[in-house]
Amino acid sequence: MKQFNVFVDDKIGELARVTEALAANAINIRGLATDKLGLRPAVKVVTDDELSTRKALSRAGLEFEESEVVIVGLIDRPGEVAKIARRAAKAGLNISSVFLIGKKDTPAALALVADDPKKAKKALE
């Protein structure tokens, strides 16, 4: 699965511009976060359809980069993220990006980008 880091300007309406480009192409967002990557603001997006996402962002004139993302299922209780973080550390994985997907009282998932995606999948899934 891919995480798309969509680079935007630091101004009003940029989140709307990214999400509208996806909505106009019937692309369902599974994970969404914002960040500043270096000095550039970015919208981080995980969707169901990588190919359509790539095309939609390109057609909208949005600059982006892709990272392999590992999705780790979680139980909704305190300490679950800490367990995953410790397991990643013990496996020698450097986590460069992480966000939680889910809502209260439902199964959740942690989306993370690591320096070695194959090793991360083996150690964390």
Name the segment(s) of the chain with CATH classification 3.30.2130.10: 2-67
How high is the pLDDT of residue 103?
Answer: 67
Find where tokens 């935007």 sit: 8
pLDDT, residue 105, reads: 67
Average pLDDT, the chain: 91
The H or E element spanning position 21 is helix 14-23
What would the CATH number be for the domain defined by 70-124?
A: 3.30.70.260
Span 55-74, pLDDT tens digits: 999 999 999 999 999 999 88
Mean of pLDDT values over 91-108: 82
Predicted confidence (pLDDT) per residue in 83-96, tens digit: 999 999 999 999 98
Residue range 2-67, CATH number: 3.30.2130.10
Q: For residues 112-125, b (16+ Cβ closer than 10 Å) or e, as one string?
A: bbbeebeebeebbe
